[in-house]
């Protein structure tokens, strides 16, 4: 049975366990929150405060009340994992829920855009639009992304000339109706002059600075859930850090271990950003900056003057 973001939040509320532990428990119990509570308790994963009490009827009642009072939070994590879109809980290799109806448009078809399109296509999303410096391509029924990548990178042909879609401009791709929009080209593409034309639920910034400050305010008023570049495209620098760690240790990880560690970092960072956003009633971008400054300040205090 599929489970939702609300189930994960409820389980965390009841047990104090981490998000990954809660997700794994829900997978193992087929999405049954009550069984997942018991499973986490048996494994000793619940926090000391929760383990000290009895996670029985009272806790399960609180779970039920908590589920009634919260709204599902849409989220996108980097180019590698897409989860909890519109209340669905989706992870590559795990549960899928009406992904074919989730339309995704990508501006930019370089390292970020093309690989991101491939990964999300493999996950099940419908890629309806893509563009590069030569122009854009749109197909409301969905593009054949592997063939498009082959067309651009192996055959070395212009993206807009791909024979399965409507030719358009690179800028026009931004304004097509979709659930997820990924500006992954260059900076300052979404401005105060065109932000009102954006027609998406989630905007995930694959490029650096694709949205201006004034446009950010307009998107917030429109209710668009913006994943800022400082969070959304942090996967690359995170893996660069992993490379440094491996070099220092003289020990190297398998690809699946790198991906798992990356997923853990991205999901934890997303959760912390959203928590700050809700606690201080700010945008995701401001919350991401707050988190970044907090982490740097904390490291400086811990290391002292001799680091």
Q: What is the pLDDT of residue 307?
A: 55
284-303 helix and 255-280 helix, angle to the nearest 10 degrees: 110
Q: What is the pLDDT of residue 46?
A: 55
Q: What is the pLDDT of residue 9?
A: 75
Measured CA to CA, the distance from residue 274 to residue 73 in angstroms comes to 9
Q: What is the pLDDT of residue 15?
A: 80
Measured CA to CA, the distance from residue 285 to residue 292 in angstroms comes to 11
Distance of CA 28 to the CA centre of its chain: 23
Contact by Cβ (8 Å): 5, 66: no
Measured CA to CA, the distance from residue 255 to residue 131 in angstroms comes to 29
Alpha helices of 185-254 — where are they, by DSSP H? 213-222, 229-232, 235-249
Q: Which residues contact 8 (CB under 8 A, 6 or more apart)?
A: 19, 22, 23, 26, 89
Measured CA to CA, the distance from residue 239 to residue 246 in angstroms comes to 10
With H, G, I as helix, E, B as strand and everything else as coil, classify residue 288.
helix
Structure token pair of residue 140: 């409301």
Q: What is the pLDDT of residue 95?
A: 41
Q: What is the pLDDT of residue 245?
A: 95
Contact by Cβ (8 Å): 29, 74: no
Measured CA to CA, the distance from residue 177 to residue 140 in angstroms comes to 10
- Taking alpha carbons only, the member of 183, 138, 128, 185 closest to residue 160 is 138
Could you tell me which residues are beta bridge partners of residue 137?
Answer: 130, 167
Answer yes or no: pTM beyond 0.85: no
From the number of C-beta atoms within 10 Å of its C-beta (0-12, 13-18, 19+), residue 79 rates as buried
Q: Which residues contact 157 (CB under 8 A, 6 or more apart)?
A: 151
CB 254: neighbour CB atoms within 10 A?
A: 8
Measured CA to CA, the distance from residue 92 to residue 80 in angstroms comes to 8
At residue 136's C-alpha, the angle toward residues 135 and 140, to 5°, is 165
Contact by Cβ (8 Å): 126, 100: yes
- Taking alpha carbons only, the member of 79, 60, 73 closest to residue 13 is 60
Could you tell me which residues are beta bridge partners of residue 180?
Answer: 104, 202
Q: What is the pLDDT of residue 305?
A: 67
Q: What is the pLDDT of residue 2?
A: 60
Residues of the chain with pLDDT under 70: 1-3, 5, 45-98, 305-307
């Amino acid at each position: 049975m599929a489970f939702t973001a609300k189930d994960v939040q409820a389980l965390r509320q009841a047990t104090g366990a981490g998000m990954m532990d809660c997700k794994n428990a829900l997978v193992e119990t087929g999405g049954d929150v009550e069984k997942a509570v018991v499973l986490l308790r048996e494994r000793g994963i619940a926090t000391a405060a929760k383990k000290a009490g009895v996670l029985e009827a009272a806790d399960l009642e609180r779970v039920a009340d908590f589920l009634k009072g919260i709204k599902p939070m849409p989220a996108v994590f980097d180019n590698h994992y897409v989860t909890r879109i519109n209340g669905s809980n989706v992870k590559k290799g795990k549960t899928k829920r009406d992904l074919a109806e989730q339309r995704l448009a990508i501006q930019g078809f370089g390292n970020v855009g093309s690989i991101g399109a491939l990964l999300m296509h493999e996950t099940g999303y419908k890629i309806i639009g893509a563009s590069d410096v030569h122009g854009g391509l749109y197909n409301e029924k969905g593009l054949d992304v592997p063939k498009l990548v082959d067309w651009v990178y192996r055959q070395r042909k212009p993206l807009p000339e791909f024979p399965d879609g409507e030719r358009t401009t690179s800028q026009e791709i931004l304004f097509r109706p979709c659930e997820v929009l990924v500006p992954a080209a260059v900076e300052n593409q979404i401005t105060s002059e065109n932000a009102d034309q954006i027609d998406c639920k989630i905007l995930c910034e694959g490029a650096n600075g694709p949205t201006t400050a004034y446009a950010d305010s307009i998107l917030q008023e429109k209710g668009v859930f913006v994943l800022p570049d400082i969070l959304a495209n942090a996967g690359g620098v995170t893996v660069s850090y992993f490379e440094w760690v491996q070099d220092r240790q003289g020990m190297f990880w398998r690809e699946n271990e790198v991906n798992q560690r990356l997923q853990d970092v991205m999901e934890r960072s997303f959760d912390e950003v959203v928590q700050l956003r809700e606690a201080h009633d700010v945008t995701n971008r401001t919350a991401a900056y707050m988190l970044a400054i907090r982490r740097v300040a904390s490291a400086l205090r811990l290391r002292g003057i001799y680091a």
